[in-house]
A = this chain, B = another copy of it.
Amino acid sequence: MEETLYTIGEVAKLANVSIQTLRYYDQIGLFKPAYVDPETNYRYYKDLQLYHLDLIKSLKYIGTSLEDIKKVQQLKREELLQFMNEQEEIIEAQLARLREIQQNVVHAKKRIQKQLNYPAFGEVVIRQEEEMRIIQAAAKNLTPLDLLNASYSELKRIVEAEEGVINNSYGAIISHQPYSHIDEITYTKIFTPILTDKRISTISTEIEVSKIPAARYACIYYIFSPEVYFPNLKKLMDYVTDHNFRAVGDIYELFTSSNYSPNEHEYIVEMKIRIAD
């Protein structure tokens, strides 16, 4: 490859970069012309230099900043390998984060689709439900009438720290008993679903990871208000009894917002009782 000199305009065309970029690279000392005419200040580049524009481009492509590219230019080959290993790790981490976000979006879609397909409010239906991983805390005598968004504050903080994001469903568990009035009901646990399959460290005896098993459930859905809470619960329990289903375990309640609007505070409640096959 013989000695040839190009003007900045020729380099721009040959290397598919703009003249402005080449001037900037010169200013910051990233890629300097081989020769500058002292009278005209015109820049001239050797053919051999073109290769280094390719290297700069390829490093930019993998996300290396111009400042870091200047450092990479000083590296020996063994150090370059180390640098590439680091880049690979960074990309792995970015991929992992994106996959998590993807799981979240898929989950959000499922939730919206489920809401779009809700059966008529106030009607009991039998549904095969997927397993739901949850993180749960002792409910400390909370009742349906004094459960607050604020009650979930600690649970949410943990999920947010572990998963990077909280999801938008909140739940509570009551034991299955022949209730005759809302005043008799006290939650045993409150919970929020976990979206990813990430391992979450055990936190304390009061807060733990658990799951609502995949199974058939008798379910009822309704728009929350204190007045309709008990009639819906009663209807669900009576349905199970009347149809001779054998109820298994607790009663689960799950709250989700019916929309993303900050001015409407409408919650859809899903109550469900697992039934034996």
Chain A residues near B (Cβ < 8 Å): 1-2, 4, 6, 13-16, 30-32, 46-52, 54-55, 57-59, 61-63, 72-78, 80-81, 84-85, 87-88, 91-92, 94-95, 98-99, 101-102, 104-106, 108-109, 112-113, 115-116, 145-150, 153, 156-157, 160, 164-168, 224, 226, 257-262, 265, 267
A98-B98 contact, Cβ under 8 Å, with A16-B160, A109-B81, A166-B58: yes
Q: A81-B113, A147-B1 are in contact. Are A49 and B262 (CB under 8 A)?
A: yes
Given A6-B150, A61-B101, A62-B104, residue A109 in contact with residue B88 (CB < 8 A): yes
Provide the main secondary structure of the chain A interface: helix
A165 proximity list for chain B (CB < 8 A): 57-58, 61-62
Beta-carbon contact of B105 and A101 below 8 Å: no
Q: Write the nearest CB–CB distance from A82 to chain B, whole angstroms.
A: 10
29 A-B residue pairs with Cβ-Cβ distance under 8 Å, sorted by A, are A1-B147, A1-B148, A1-B224, A2-B146, A13-B153, A14-B153, A30-B262, A32-B262, A48-B149, A49-B262, A49-B265, A50-B149, A51-B168, A51-B257, A52-B257, A52-B262, A55-B257, A57-B165, A58-B167, A61-B104, A61-B164, A77-B258, A78-B116, A81-B109, A81-B113, A81-B116, A88-B105, A91-B102, A95-B102
Measured CB to CB, the closest approach of chain B to A41, in angstroms, equals 20
Given contacts A58-B167, A95-B102, contact A77 B115 (CB under 8 A): yes
